[in-house]
Structure 1
Amino acid sequence: MSRTRGTSRARRISSLGLAAAVTRAATAGLRAKPPGGRERWARTNYAGRTVEWYAGPACAFAAATGTARVRPAAGLAVLVAGVCGAYDDVAGAGDARRGFRAHLTALRDGEVTSGAVKLLGISAAGLVAGASLKERAVDKVLAGVVIAGAAHLVNLVDVRPGRAAAAVVALGAPGLLRKGPGAELAAAAVGAALAVLPDDLGERAMMGDTGAHALGAALGTAVVAGNGRAGLVVHAAALVAAAVHGEARGA
């Protein structure tokens, strides 16, 4: 029994450490040789300060890599969430529309916004991952809601420096106390978040939708892997409520 606990603890530590190390290495690599030039990677934060965007793709890549080691389907969901977030970060710059309603209304009128691509892409990825991680149909759907909902939740709180990364650490930390794949998936999310938190808090970097959605999806896969139907129902209900509340506030 003690050997099993030791192995589980080692896997969690390894998953956390790997995600943190990959995030830092990827950030340093992008900073040293930024594709397209440094101007393409500069962003303006809420206070009007210019910050780096390297942390977003870096932590998304790290979270996808870390979760894929545990469950390939989880890694795919995280990767798609990051890619969709990156598309919105780039193509959606300057688009003042916020919330599901605005983007779905535009889609109904024939305009495919970056927000709609993000919404549909992450939802589809969540459902695909949920179908792989769970066996029963109801659980597959609940899992998809949890993964997509968690991705949206982390992005929802990303309104000030450090909030999204801190939220991932706070929400993911309890999962580290568990055993099994859920704990390892949570460790990957927490490790990547911890790696970007200092620069994010110091207003030197931002994750953008890229990092927020990827880390949120990683948290969602951890919840899915670590819970049965009752837990999935509770988490899905809470995430839907948070999304509705966020939509109402943004209206």
Structure 2
Amino acid sequence: MIRSIVSTAVAGLAGFTATKAVLRSRLRTHESVVRTNHAGHDVSLAEGPAVATGLLAGSLLIEDPRQRTATLLATAAAGSLGAVDDFCESGSSKGLRGHLSALARGEITTGTIKVTGIPLASIAAAAILRSRTRPAGFFRFSQKEDRPWFAAVADVIVTGGVIAGSANLFNLLDLRPGRALKAGALTLAFTDHERRVSWAPSGAIAGVTAAAWPDDLAGDAMLGDTGANALGAAIGVILAETATPAQRRLILAVLAGLTLASEKVSFTSVIESTPGLREIDSFGREVV
């Protein structure tokens, strides 16, 4: 118990420190990371690399080796592929349907690379997570799982879908200052933390969120694909680890439904027209 508490605190501190270090570096003001946001103001994309760095630093403190490896893989891949789309963008296709349509035409864009690369990395991370034997206690595994191979493969695919779907959803939410960070905090607040496997990664995310919060809410910096994908992937691993197989299937169904809905419906319009969501979304925001 004491070891887990200490690991969680250190993970939070590591995430906070690493994120702040990148945000305060020269990268923040470099012309290559400056973009124009929805309100027509200059905003720095340095928050994305800062958040990804903080998440990776904090994830090093995860006690379980498989979860640590899976989290580092999923977060690094999602952040790196998001950075490719942020800083080397090619093609005019937008959204999941647009990227897949471009791929069907034989057009390889940075967005296409991202929407194919993140699922592949997520399945690899899921294979690491699901390679466990049956739990015999916290951080101890003794019995092999007794189930058909096709059930194990299906669980890996579902788990990978949860990780990739979460990465994509948080990217879709990063359209207004603070929205993705708030969604992450609320997700963690309603996640089952009874198992200690969620403590250290949640601590890392909390530290990163605290570090990025002021600049994000002020509209001075934004997550971009780099930070939003990395944050979503890290949260996806937590959800995959703390949920039962049935819950993972439900989570995947919800993520898939929201992704498909985003092709037809504006999340911003829905949020702004829904009491409660509107107030949460605008809370603390200096730029609208």
TM-score (normalised: structure 1): 0.89
Whole-angstrom CA distance in 2 between matches of 1:17 and 1:173:
19
Change (3 A) 1:213 1:179: same
Aligned partner of residue 222 in structure 1, secondary structure: helix
Pick aligned residue for 1:189 from 205, 208, 213: 205
Aligned partner of residue 43 in structure 2, secondary structure: strand
How far the C-alpha of 1:66 sits from its partner, in A, is 2.0
Aligned partner of residue 199 in structure 1, secondary structure: helix
Q: Is 1:86 aligned with 2:78?
A: no
Q: Which runs of 5+ in 2 are unaligned?
A: 63-67, 132-151, 267-288
Q: Structure 2 counterpart of 1:10, which letter? A: V
Tell whether the 8 Å contact from 2:61 to 2:200 is kept in structure 1 after alignment: no
Provide the residue aligned with 1:25 in structure 2: 21
Larger mean Cα displacement after TM superposition, 172-181 or 161-170: 172-181
How far the C-alpha of 1:145 sits from its partner, in A, is 0.3
What whole-Å deviation, never above 9, does each CA across 1:8-51 have from its counterpart, x for those lacking one? 3332222222211111112223x3xx39x721121111111011
CA RMSD of aligned residues (A): 1.9
Q: Is 1:67 aligned with 2:59?
A: yes
Q: Which runs of 5+ in 1 are unaligned?
A: none
Pick aligned residue for 2:5 from 5, 9, 17: 9
- Identity between Structure 1 and Structure 2 (%): 35
Tell whether the 8 Å contact from 2:93 to 2:102 is kept in structure 1 after alignment: no
Q: Is 1:54 aligned with 2:54?
A: no
Provide the residue aligned with 1:178 in structure 2: 194
Whole-angstrom CA distance in 1 between matches of 2:57 and 2:158:
24
Larger mean Cα displacement after TM superposition, 11-20 or 195-204: 11-20
Provide the residue aligned with 1:125 in structure 2: 121
Q: Which runs of 4+ in 1 moved over 6 A?
A: none
Task: Number of aligned residue pairs: give it.
Answer: 241
Whole-angstrom CA distance in 1 between matches of 2:94 and 2:105:
16
Q: Structure 2 counterpart of 1:22, which letter? A: A
Tell whether the 8 Å contact from 2:89 to 2:111 is kept in structure 1 after alignment: yes
Whole-angstrom CA distance in 1 between matches of 2:205 and 2:130:
20
